[in-house]
Amino acid sequence: MSAPAPSKHEFPFAAWTREVRQSALREIHTLLARPGLLSFALGMPAAELFPVAEYARAAQHVLRADPEALQYDLPLPRLRAHVVALMARRGVACTEGEVFITNGAQQAMSLLGQLLVSPGGTVVTEQVTYDGMLNSLRPLQPRVLTVPTDPQTGMDVDALEALLAGGERPSLVYTIPEGHNPLGATLPAASRRRLAALARDYGVPVIEDDAYGLLRYDADAPPTLRSLEPEWVLYMGSFSKIMAPGLRVGWVVAPEPVVRRLSILKQGGDLDVSNFAQRTLTAYLDGDPLDAHLAHLRAEYAARRDAMLSALEEHFPAEARWSRPSSGMFVWVEMPREVDTAVLLRRAVEEAGVAFIPGRAFCAEGGVRGVNAMRLNFSRLSAEQIHEGIARLGRVLHPPAVLASV
Amino acid sequence: MSAPAPSKHEFPFAAWTREVRQSALREIHTLLARPGLLSFALGMPAAELFPVAEYARAAQHVLRADPEALQYDLPLPRLRAHVVALMARRGVACTEGEVFITNGAQQAMSLLGQLLVSPGGTVVTEQVTYDGMLNSLRPLQPRVLTVPTDPQTGMDVDALEALLAGGERPSLVYTIPEGHNPLGATLPAASRRRLAALARDYGVPVIEDDAYGLLRYDADAPPTLRSLEPEWVLYMGSFSKIMAPGLRVGWVVAPEPVVRRLSILKQGGDLDVSNFAQRTLTAYLDGDPLDAHLAHLRAEYAARRDAMLSALEEHFPAEARWSRPSSGMFVWVEMPREVDTAVLLRRAVEEAGVAFIPGRAFCAEGGVRGVNAMRLNFSRLSAEQIHEGIARLGRVLHPPAVLASV
């Protein structure tokens, strides 16, 4: 049988989808397959810290108790109750009706975008921000305005106020006040109060991405935006970093009218979060393991952060600058302006067997700000591996003659 | 502390989301909570036929073998290989690169809509069709054209040809050729050949929803559309009906350029299908259980279908007409024109403890066609329960005087 002649028609993709490109992170995922690589690249939690045995027990329990665990079902009220309890740890008082369960924080972002952004509408992000958020909004083709952001103190709230005072009325403002990805920044309490007040005064929804909020290592955590402003701050949380990403379970805390609409949008998108995943996670949480588990995670990740900061001191050139995160999984390093970290990445992988993400992957507006920066993840490798990897990366950066050539 | 004064601003939902309504099916889900109800309403497989013990073993195996089962990961090639093997059962020769894994068929529909339908674009469906498909397209606010559909033989392909010959160039045509939801119809082979040729000749993508295709009870299954036309037919399958819905795993078979774009859209939407769900399903399928499991499912569901058809003969009034499905999970019943099945549903629940879905829930264009119809699911209840439920429903419909009053 001969192959049919090609059709005379071109495949009619929707116009905007012809422009979409693979996420830079996904491309790097492939590069990282190289065996023996010490990777600071992806924002992965440490798999050896996953509560695998406890989760396996919960899965067995759920499947033995009731085959309906694999049936279609409505969202599970008991899982929402657990999220309410978790939110209290973030200083947030909310009800089960204000909690909406999603397939991870990425879906929360995508559904909030659908709900708030009309096609071509305006959104505000930080100049350096999580690239997955911009990906999630692409179907809406928004106009993206950015405000400066500092590697240590996060969003420049003055700049946001100037935009609003100048007449901009964005459909949403997106920010990561705690454990900023990729910067590692923490927005100070005073800035949070001003941001919450701006949201309310101008009637602009602020999306607080708090995926890393429960991974705080230092004392004196500032209040969440949601605890300061329950009406105009829409909160996103996730079990990916505190439990395991492979579950794909996250949540939104928002006023009930928002939750009701999100629920309708999600039904059209993919019906429900896996009933089995919801029941298993609920059974796991029923055992009240979180105090011990979170304490363990925080101690481990704090030690890894400290290992990375001391290794950077020891091995990186004097010209480099980096953030000192109090939370999250990332350190942001800025090299002298002449260094292009995308070029550096290839050398680091090939010559030193070390990887990171070039800063431009996280920069709206073409990535100018991030050309000489790198995001280093400190959660996935052990303290020993971190020392070894940063030492190797440091050797690629030394002596200064080599540095000038990249 | 006094409650803050309400904000002076109205919450800025995107315009189209103000119009969205809860799915009729979801509302009925609540009504069905009544204890002791015999429900023919939802399209649920029988939970007692789920391979729960085998799935539990697979989950244990996966979690013991490697904690990375709960980590982020790329889509699993081995699961795609299993889907390729499954597709051979439907007469489809495809490659792993043509398989795309989704959170159930609902997400497949939603992503295909995003990929193909520009905002305000045109889509064609059958007059009576799966309402979840229309929900998934709502963010795009498409113009929906419909063609007639027959409870026994499905889509009127003549009517589609007339639309295309008249100059319409829809972004997609959606159809359910096998085990039609809600009709139970099977599109005859000759109509499939004509539909495949129309897709190709006019350059119009046809979405073949084959969620029920592996649940065929009678001999002489006609070929899938995808086996007739690999370029212009985009195929949707699901593990929900043959394995269990609570997993939320489905798939698309499409040309590789389509798969590559779907992958990018899904990354923005919710990153990946749960790695744990993919690995567990793969471990389950590695045991090669499907021949036996599918044979068992088909024998059970065929017996339930036969039970429903004989109960309808026995208990329903002579004026009623119904489809005789060769596949799927549904019988479509049409009552005399004066019967409003939405009114009848309340009486059925209250007087007889029996439920179904009123036909209008499945009808584009305001549901005129479905006012006197009902969808009856035969997969979830046992043959005995089906006899009992249809007998009770029949009593609500008798005597004719009562029938005339609803």
Measured CA to CA, the distance from residue A308 to residue A384 in angstroms comes to 10
- Interface predicted TM-score (ipTM): 0.92
> DSSP letter at A44?
P
H/E run at residue B377 = strand B373-377
Please give the backbone phi and psi of residue B199, each rounded to the nearest 5 degrees, phi first. -55, -45
A255 to chain B: closest CA residue: B11
Residue B128 has pLDDT above 80, yes or no: yes
CB pairs below 8 Å between A and B: how many?
260
Chain A residues with CB inside 8 Å of B110's CB? Answer: 268-270
Q: Which of B2, B124, B248, B266 is best to mutate for the A interface (most A CBs within 10 A)?
A: B248
All residues at 6 or more sequence positions from B346 whose CB lies less than 8 Å from its CB, including other chains = none
Please give the backbone phi and psi of residue A87, each rounded to the nearest 5 degrees, phi first. -65, -30
Is residue B374 within 8 A of residue B354, CB to CB? The reply is: no
Q: Which of B276, B281, B377 is best to mutate for the A interface (most A CBs within 10 A)?
A: B276
Average pLDDT, chain B: 92
Per-residue pLDDT of chain A (406 residues; tens, 9 = 90+): 444 555 678 888 888 887 776 666 666 766 777 888 999 998 999 999 999 999 999 999 999 999 999 998 888 999 999 999 999 999 999 999 999 999 999 999 999 999 999 888 999 999 999 989 988 998 888 999 999 999 999 999 999 999 999 999 999 999 999 999 999 999 999 999 999 999 999 999 999 999 999 999 999 899 999 999 999 999 999 999 999 999 999 999 999 999 999 999 999 999 889 999 999 999 999 999 999 999 999 999 999 999 999 999 999 999 999 999 999 999 999 999 889 998 999 899 989 999 999 999 898 765 567 899 999 999 999 999 999 999 999 999 875 544 554 4
A110 to chain B: closest CA residue: B269
pLDDT of residue B233: 98
Residue B2 has pLDDT above 80, yes or no: no
- The answer to whether B1 contacts chain A (CB < 8 Å) is no
Measured CA to CA, the distance from residue B356 to residue B25 in angstroms comes to 10
Query: What DSSP string runs through A85-112?
Result: HHHHTTT----GGGEEEESHHHHHHHHH
pLDDT of residue B159: 97
H/E run at residue A175 = strand A172-175
Measured CA to CA, the distance from residue A223 to residue A231 in angstroms comes to 16
Q: Residue B23 — pLDDT band, cuts 50, 70, 90?
A: low
Chain B residues with CB inside 8 Å of A48's CB? Answer: 67
Measured CA to CA, the distance from residue A223 to residue A227 in angstroms comes to 7
- CB-based contact A72 B17, cutoff 8 Å: no
pLDDT of residue B406: 46
Lowest-confidence pick of A85-94, A287-296, B52-61, B364-373: B364-373
pLDDT of residue A6: 59
pLDDT of residue B1: 41
Side-chain-side CA neighbours of residue A39 (13 Å): 19
- CB-based contact B12 A205, cutoff 8 Å: yes
pLDDT of residue A140: 87
pLDDT of residue B140: 87
Distance (Å) from the alpha carbon of B372 to chain A's nearest alpha carbon: 26
Let me know the angle formed at the C-alpha of A80 by A76 and A83, rounded to the nearest 5 degrees.
Answer: 145
Tokens of residue B43, six digits: 């399209």
From the list A22, A50, A274, the residue facing B277 with the nearest CB is A274
All residues at 6 or more sequence positions from A72 whose CB lies less than 8 Å from its CB, including other chains = A271, A272, A275, B42, B44, B240, B245, B246
- The answer to whether B65 contacts chain A (CB < 8 Å) is no
Q: Residue B18 — pLDDT band, cuts 50, 70, 90?
A: confident
Enumerate the H helices of A216-289 as residue ranges. Answer: 225-228, 256-270, 275-286
Distance (Å) from the alpha carbon of A10 to chain B's nearest alpha carbon: 7
Distance (Å) from the alpha carbon of B300 to chain A's nearest alpha carbon: 17
Residue B3 has pLDDT above 50, yes or no: no
Mean pLDDT over B47-54 rounds to: 96
H/E run at residue A252 = strand A250-253
Model pLDDT for residues B202-239, shown as the tens digit of each residue = 999 999 999 999 999 999 899 999 999 999 999 999 99
- CB-based contact A136 B26, cutoff 8 Å: no
pLDDT of residue B74: 82
Tell me which residues of chain B, numbers 247 to 286, contact chain A at a CB-CB cutoff of 8 Å.
Answer: 247-248, 255, 257-258, 261, 264-265, 267-277
Q: Residue B17 — pLDDT band, cuts 50, 70, 90?
A: confident
Q: Which of A276, A280, A357 is best to mutate for the B interface (most B CBs within 10 A)?
A: A276
Model pLDDT for residues B97-116, shown as the tens digit of each residue = 999 999 999 999 999 999 99
- The answer to whether A65 contacts chain B (CB < 8 Å) is no
**For the whole model, what pTM was predicted?**
0.93
Tell me which residues of chain A, numbers 341 to 400, contact chain B at a CB-CB cutoff of 8 Å.
Answer: none
pLDDT of residue B399: 59
